[in-house]
Structure 1
Amino acid sequence: MRTPLRAFRSTRNALLSAAVAIGLVVAGLVTLTTAPAAHADTQICDQYGSTTIQGRYVVQNNRWGTTATQCINVTGSGFQITQADGTATNGGPKSYPSVFYGCHYTNCSPGTNLPAQLSTISSAPTSVAFTYVGNAVYDAAYDIWLDPTPRKDGVNQTEIMVWYNHTSPVQPVGSKVGTANVAGRSWDVWTGNNGSNNVISFVAPSAIGSWSFDVKAFTDETVSRGLAQNSWYLTSVQAGFEPWQNGVGLAVTSFSSSANIGGGGTSGGTSTGGTTGGTSSGGTTGGTGSSSCKVSFTPQTWAGGYTASVTVSNTGSAAVNGWRVGFTLPSGQTVTSAWNATISPSSGSVTASSLAYNAQIPAGGSQSFGFQGAYSGTFAQPSGFTLNGTSCS
């Protein structure tokens, strides 16, 4: 018998909407348990309790579908479910413990300028690593929220789910409408409505433990299917679990997310040189030499880490089929994850290679990729950019 995913996600939304009308409940929701940035582990058992990590992301307990106790242990890089009492009985999951970037029910991650209009976002790189257990009924998924307005509270109009894993009998709300290749992977696509918002779900045919991707790939697919418009706003990017039964041991071990605005500026925080978010320096840079290619590099940095958006433009008269962008990382820098390209090795002189879906750069066109890295000391930008061995300006 089919068990629809979050057929009763509206229960949570209805409860929160009812809270607006009931003063005592509102007081309970408004006064979320929000601790300072977590350096030591933080235990959260409050229904909607939350804290921040890395000075950038919010981790939330978000127990909305049961009255039974749920606790999470928040680390410096994610969280683990440590207590998961009760069993979901209304068709929907017990909760959605998760980590997010952006704004969700007035709770905004530090420094973010989400909501941001889709048409202004050049890329929105994100990465997550999950730990799974074998004694629970759950799904592990992203929630990506879109709305016609820059909403920071309440229910958004369209919810994108990216399912990394799920156990039987859990399945998405609605019905399967086909398959799609998005961000270089194949997905089963489901669409439906949970009573409060539209839902489009991209379900991996087999479990994914960790993966980095560009949120724009999924928002573009959603727009193409008529469930959003480019004038709408991305309000938050969330990753976590929806448990129906048990769940102890499920964990997010790492998470990153950002939004690059316009020509590569990044949302959130303060900075110099055309990016926002963290404490970055510099704007865009490239190599020197040939006029047949141009590379722009836009970083977003914080203490010890950064993300980078890289665009390689073909300024020549012939298409490039299969591209390799070479560059040199400064001493002390390493690449920890990448999207829209594979990067090897992780330090020193590295090469970013195209994937099957973005291998061609037409004359006058461009391709973009990104990566997350770590650094020691003072951040410095890479140098010596080349395209298939030819220096770029």
Structure 2
Amino acid sequence: MQIIILAVAALLGAGLFLAPAQAAPVLCEKWGSTTVQNGRYIVMNNVWGADTAQCVDVNQNGGFTVTQADHNKATNGAPAAYPAIYAGCHYAACTTGSGLPMQAGSSGFGALRSSITMTYPNAGTWDAAYDIWFDPTPRTDGQNTGAEVMIWLNKRGSIQPVGSQVGTANLAGGTWQVWYGNIGWNVVSYVRTSATSSLDFAVDTFYSDAISRGYAQRSWYLTSVQAGFEPWAGGAGLAVGSFSFGSGGGTTDRTPPTTPGAPAASGTTAGATTLTWGASTDTGGSGLAGYDVLRATGDTFTQVGTSTTTSYTDTGLTPATTYRYRVRARDGAGNLSPESAAVTVTTQNGGGGGGCTATATTQNAWNNGYVIQPVTVTNRGTATLNGWTVTFPLPPGHTITGSWGANVSVGGGTVTVRNLPYNGTLAPNASTTFGFQASRPDGDTQVPTGYTCA
């Protein structure tokens, strides 16, 4: 049986009770909370998924210990609680001096860091996780609707994150399973393949990876950074020993990565091109976090995407247009490398006299998959079309499982479909078809859109 975990505080819907700032109490109230370190952080009991007793002993220096947890919930549903410490704003309860909300595309975002130490009991069923929230607006109250990034340092028992595993990543000194689901907002979870009791990382390390997979956006706002535990059964003895959040987070890394190699372009069509480049290296200690892809049609380069690998496919381009691209690297502390040398790319003209179009029909769709058939390719030009290419973005978490009538490949979140020998030549106004089948996460109702033909 696949175990599904709901978001840690998604169903909270209740205000927080703040105990006196000078106290370091034992919190047993369902929604009990208190400030620590003169309001810099808030510790919350947050028994949001059950009515069983739970108490946390708060350390005014910046941590807490779960002293009582009478939970005994089945693991095929939500956890009982999320006792946690956080910086930022959570349901209108905001800490002092966090600088949040902060837009993920702002100049200071790359310098935001957090660290934690944790202690685990050898009993119960639980996970130990960061819960980092993003919203399309600078929200300070209510439910965030952008992305929820969870970072699981450890877990015990037969539990797993929301959705399904979509890949792996090497980030912040560890290897992580990457999970994705949507419960009204994107839940992107990173589960460490070997448990750890401490972590020190730049927030953008994980957020950049989520962006590169299509699950988050630079325009969204970071609203809170939370860290704690999700217990299903038991949980007494779980403890946060220390927690920090802020600009720099104590890091001394001020060394930028080396300059990436000049990008090279391949597979250029009327609407897309794929770039590859030589890797950067980072010697500052915070680790290479990813790459920014910059594009220009005149003299000014602007960022058009990010990647955690040394390739990127840029789509939605204009036929018969010249573009220039550069790449720069980012490390975990937010340092940026110099920009690479530029490559010049000219898109194809789209097949003379008007090019071609691609129109898709959804033949069948079910809970976790669909069939798109036919996709009709039509020559809209006045001259014979000798070969065609259709591109479209694949929604996050979707996988092409079969195709017919064309050669289909997927790279960087973009599907590229090319004709077969028998259907590549189209007279003016002539058409041909192809089709494909894909899987998608349970509950996701998306199908691909934005087909471009060249």
State TM-score, norm by structure 2: 0.55
Aligned to 1:77: 62
Aligned to 2:96: 110
CA separation in 2, counterparts of 1:223 and 1:205? 22
Aligned to 2:155: 166
C-alpha contact 1:8 1:91 (8 A) present in aligned 2? no
Aligned to 2:132: 144
Aligned to 1:4: 4
- Cα deviation, residue 117, structure 1: 0.2
Aligned to 1:347: none
Aligned to 1:234: 222
Q: How many residues align?
A: 277
The residue type paired with residue 310 of structure 1 is R
Q: What is the aligned-residue identity percentage?
A: 43
Q: Where in structure 2 are the equivalents of 1:110-259 lying within 5 Å?
A: 110-120=96-106, 121-157=109-145, 158-194=147-183, 196-258=184-246
- SS of the counterpart of 1:220? helix
C-alpha contact 2:8 2:131 (8 A) present in aligned 1? no
C-alpha contact 2:16 2:93 (8 A) present in aligned 1? no
C-alpha contact 2:132 2:225 (8 A) present in aligned 1? yes
- SS of the counterpart of 1:51? strand
Matched, 1:101 2:45: no
C-alpha contact 2:92 2:140 (8 A) present in aligned 1? yes
Change (3 A) 1:52 1:310: farther
What does the per-residue CA deviation read over 1:298-331, in whole Å, with 9 as the maximum and x for residues that have no partner? Answer: x78xxxxx6656244879xxx9986766xxxxxx
Q: Where in structure 2 are the equivalents of 1:273-312 lying within 5 Å?
A: 310-312=254-256
- SS of the counterpart of 1:223? helix
Change (3 A) 1:218 1:312: closer
Change (3 A) 1:169 1:366: closer
Q: Where in structure 2 are the equivalents of 1:338-349 lying within 5 Å?
A: 339-340=286-287
CA separation in 2, counterparts of 1:85 and 1:236? 28
What does the per-residue CA deviation read over 1:323-378, in whole Å, with 9 as the maximum and x for residues that have no partner? Answer: 766xxxxxxxxxxxx7449xxxxxxxxxxxxxxx99xxxxx97865659xxxxxxx
- SS of the counterpart of 2:110? strand
- Cα deviation, residue 7, structure 1: 6.6
| Structure 1 gap segments, 5+ residues each | 17-28, 261-298, 301-305, 326-337, 342-356, 359-363, 372-393
Change (3 A) 1:124 1:323: closer
The residue type paired with residue 70 of structure 2 is D
C-alpha contact 2:115 2:200 (8 A) present in aligned 1? yes
What does the per-residue CA deviation read over 1:120-177, in whole Å, with 9 as the maximum and x for residues that have no partner? Answer: 1122111111100111100000001011001111111210001101112111111111
The residue type paired with residue 191 of structure 2 is V
Aligned to 2:423: none
Question: Which structure exhibits the higher relative contact order, with contacts defined as CA atoms closer than 8 Å and separated by 6 or more residues?
Answer: 1
Change (3 A) 1:8 1:58: closer
C-alpha contact 2:7 2:187 (8 A) present in aligned 1? no
Return the match for 2:37 from 45, 51, 54: 54
CA separation in 1, counterparts of 2:7 and 2:84? 19
Change (3 A) 1:146 1:322: closer
CA separation in 2, counterparts of 1:3 and 1:314? 43
- Cα deviation, residue 77, structure 1: 2.6
- Cα deviation, residue 47, structure 1: 1.2
- Cα deviation, residue 51, structure 1: 1.3
RMSD of aligned alpha carbons: 3.2
Change (3 A) 1:366 1:67: closer
| Structure 2 gap segments, 5+ residues each | 260-277, 289-307, 310-326, 335-454
Change (3 A) 1:366 1:217: closer
CA separation in 2, counterparts of 1:50 and 1:368? 35
Q: Where in structure 2 are the equivalents of 1:38-53 lying within 5 Å?
A: 38=23, 41-53=24-36
CA separation in 1, counterparts of 2:126 and 2:134? 24
Greater helix share, 1 or 2?
1
CA separation in 1, counterparts of 2:7 and 2:33? 25
- SS of the counterpart of 1:119? coil
CA separation in 2, counterparts of 1:320 and 1:182? 16
C-alpha contact 1:313 1:367 (8 A) present in aligned 2? yes
C-alpha contact 1:155 1:197 (8 A) present in aligned 2? no
CA separation in 2, counterparts of 1:31 and 1:54? 18
C-alpha contact 2:204 2:332 (8 A) present in aligned 1? no
- SS of the counterpart of 2:51? coil
- Cα deviation, residue 69, structure 1: 1.3
C-alpha contact 1:176 1:188 (8 A) present in aligned 2? yes
State TM-score, norm by structure 1: 0.63
Aligned to 1:87: 72
C-alpha contact 2:110 2:202 (8 A) present in aligned 1? no
Aligned to 2:51: 67
C-alpha contact 1:49 1:61 (8 A) present in aligned 2? yes
Runs of 4+ in structure 1 deviating by more than 3 angstroms, as ranges, are 7-10, 306-309, 311-315, 319-325, 338-341, 364-371
- SS of the counterpart of 2:17? coil
- Cα deviation, residue 225, structure 1: 1.5
